[in-house]
Amino acid sequence: MLHKISTLKTVIPTMDPKLTLDFLVNGLDLVAIYDEIDISVLYGRCLHRGALLGDGHIQGENLICGLHGWVYRCGSGVSEYTNLASLHKFNAWIEDTNVYIDMSEVENFLIQNPQPFDRKAYQGDYADTHPETTEPYTKYIQELARNGLQKFGHHGPYASVGINRNILPLWENIQFLPAHNNIHFYTTIMGGNVSRSL
């Protein structure tokens, strides 16, 4: 089953070598790149963190993600970083200035790759598809952006007083050594206001 995503009459006037066109088809983000000869339609989300590739730009033969700069080949969707990662390339063709894709291919892709985006929710288009330990608070920040302090109380999140013992120096790791030589005796003072030496 064919699905028309655009016409070249509307695409060509807006196409700039530095821009991409994005489409939403049956809840699936697609990005189209037209090079005056052919059109390439790729999965429209970056494999790194799920950013919209329609917000990216074209540089030479590459589609570059606007969020973290991941690079994909325009014609194949293969990542510049690893050949094992590639954006799915959808069959697309031009007939009488109309751009078409195969809807059954989109439906099969959605079955194999369910999309995690709740578009009706606040910031639902921007789910972090691959959270990383380098940014551990992304979900927490998005939760605060959606609900403010409603779920935490007016003082915000808090816990009992104290620090996790596992992140403090342990007594068994403190080593006491005698410190003197023939000339001087050394004392160690622990704490700024301690009056007795060890």
CATH number for position 88: 2.102.10.10
Q: With pLDDT > 70 as the criterion, what percentage of the chain qualifies?
A: 72
**Does 42 reside within a domain?**
yes
pLDDT at residue 183 above 60? no
Most confident of 99-113, 115-129, 135-149: 99-113
What separation in angstroms does the CA of 118 have from each of 16, 27, 140?
Answer: 31, 10, 17
**Does 65 reside within a domain?**
yes
**Does 122 reside within a domain?**
no
16 pLDDT tier (thresholds 50, 70, 90): low
- For residue 44, count CB atoms less than 10 angstroms from its CB and return exposed for 0-12, middle for 13-18, buried for 19 or more: buried
**pLDDT in the model for residue 109:** 95
Angle, CA of 139, 118 and 52, to the nearest 5°: 75
Please write the tens of the pLDDT for every residue from 65-84: 998 899 999 989 999 888 88
> Which residues, including other chains, have CB under 8 Å from residue 148's CB and lie 6 or more apart?
none
Q: What single-letter DSSP state applies at residue 39?
A: E
Q: Which of 77, 105, 79 is nearest to 93 (CA)?
A: 105
**Does 166 reside within a domain?**
no
**pLDDT in the model for residue 46:** 93
Q: Which of 17, 177, 132 is nearest to 188 (CA)?
A: 177
> Can you give the residue range of the structural domain that contains 64?
2-117
**Does 103 reside within a domain?**
yes
Please count the helices (runs of H) and the strands (runs of E) in the chain.
3, 10
Give the total number of structural domains in the chain: 1
